[in-house]
Structure 1
Amino acid sequence: MIKRLFQIALPIVMAWLMVMPLSAQGVAFGVKGGLEVVSMEFNDDVFDKSNRAGFFVGPTFVISTALPGLAIDISGLYNERTLRVEGESVQQKSILIPAHVRYGASIMDFGGVFLTAGPQLSFNVGPSKFYWEDVNKNAKQFLLQDTKLAIDFGVGLSIGQHLEAIVYYSIPIGKTGDFTWNKVSKAANEASSALNNTNTTANSWMLSATYIF
């Protein structure tokens, strides 16, 4: 399903990005970086939520439009985060391409506040398959999705002409990965022929700081 959504969303996002800058009043370049807190949610109730941290950094472009207060924020970010799956730490490395619309108001000469929302495409650039055994010799596998689509919502604060701070909440569309495991029979000391499977989504809070040149 996620692949189908990606195929539908990509041309829409690309067309939107091509049309909106036609009325642009200016383009500002900057560098964005920040921290991420990930909340893992499993479909199977036997698993507890697990929180882990990550970071992201990369260039960003802020494109102002003809409408006062309305702008577009497009970034290319390297993202590295750690997921916790059944006692195992899984490191995910991705390239994030968020494309957000923002709308806000200035606060005299201090800066301004704004709301922001939009899609985020994610491409996995690190390992996608992880295998291990627990202390009871149970075989386990976690498989990450290669591409993902998420929707971000956030609120931001600009300070002067060069600094911005934004807090996002990112909600993935579809699953983040599949977790498969089997249990070793203590009596026969052989792996069970039946595999167990569940999938997980990784919602996240992202706190970013941007310097606009």
Structure 2
Amino acid sequence: MRRYIVYITFLTFAFAFPAQAQVRFGIKGGFNVNKVSWKWKDLEQNVRSDNRNGFYAGITLDVSLPMPGMGVDFSVLYDNRVVSLPTSEEFENKTMQYIIVPVNLRYSLGLGDFLSIYAATGPQVSYNIGDRSWAMNDYVIQHWTGGWELNKSDLSWNVGGGFSFFGHFRLGYNYNIMLGHTNEFTVKKLSGDYVEGKLKANTHQISLTYFF
């Protein structure tokens, strides 16, 4: 399913390049704050779901469409996210690494010669390039043991906005909503029973882009 969505996304982006479109290349970077939620309530009190910081950076294309204020942004970014997992005595941060490909439809409104505001939304595909599985031999939750398994890829949706200024800079906020789960885990209890659950991580993002 994700594969077909990726194809549709890229075809949509390709058709957004009419001859009249203006294309700019830029570099983009920023930081993100991850909020984790769990499908298994017994685990909520044992895994920290408070915010964890990360960062992302990469290249971006800005396409201005031949319609007033409309445009498309296409980016390829390295994304570094952090989640906190429990050990036998304390919590330890684990890093999740991705290549993310967001494609956002954008509407801009000029506020003068040097400043405009914009709103943007669109799909994002994330490809896992880091560790996909974490054994829980070192992670003990009330004497339960098990393991974690991350998806190879994730599909999510972006909603955001911000400011463009001085013709070259764009400062933005984005909320990335996961469509589905990011992680599956299996825990073995003292009784010998196995319990399965799922993790979901939505992300707040602040970015700064420079266009050449």
Q: TM-score, normalised by structure 2?
A: 0.90
Indicate the percent of aligned positions where both proteins have the same amino acid.
27
Q: Write the distance in 1 (CA, Å) between the matches of 2:20 and 2:189.
A: 59
Partner of 1:22: helix, strand, or coil? Answer: coil
Q: Could you tell me which runs of 5 or more consecutive residues in structure 2 were left unpaired when the two chains were aligned.
A: none
Q: Write the distance in 1 (CA, Å) between the matches of 2:196 and 2:85.
A: 13
Q: Give 1:101's aligned residue.
A: 105
Q: Give 1:199's aligned residue.
A: 198
Q: Give 1:170's aligned residue.
A: 176
Which 10-residue stretch deviates more, 15-24 or 57-66? Answer: 15-24
Partner of 1:98: helix, strand, or coil? Answer: strand
Amino acid at match of 1:138: W
Does 2:167 correspond to 1:161? yes
Q: Write the distance in 2 (CA, Å) between the matches of 1:143 and 1:91.
A: 13
Q: Write the distance in 1 (CA, Å) between the matches of 2:14 and 2:34.
A: 32
Q: Deviations over 1:93-127 (max 9, x none)?
A: 10000000100111111220010000001000011
Does 2:208 correspond to 1:212? no
Q: Give 2:133's aligned residue.
A: 129
On the 8 A contact 1:23/1:65 being kept in 2, the answer is no
Task: Give the CA deviation at 1:136.
Answer: 5.8
Q: Could you tell me which runs of 5 or more consecutive residues in structure 1 were left unpaired when the two chains were aligned.
A: 185-191
Q: Write the distance in 2 (CA, Å) between the matches of 1:72 and 1:22.
A: 12
Partner of 1:12: helix, strand, or coil? Answer: helix
Amino acid at match of 1:162: H
Q: Write the distance in 2 (CA, Å) between the matches of 1:30 and 1:23.
A: 20
Q: Deviations over 1:22-76 (max 9, x none)?
A: 2542111110000000000101223153321110000111011100111110000
Q: TM-score, normalised by structure 1?
A: 0.89
On the 8 A contact 1:169/1:205 being kept in 2, the answer is yes
Q: Write the distance in 1 (CA, Å) between the matches of 2:54 and 2:118.
A: 25
Q: Write the distance in 1 (CA, Å) between the matches of 2:68 and 2:175.
A: 25
Does 2:17 correspond to 1:21? yes
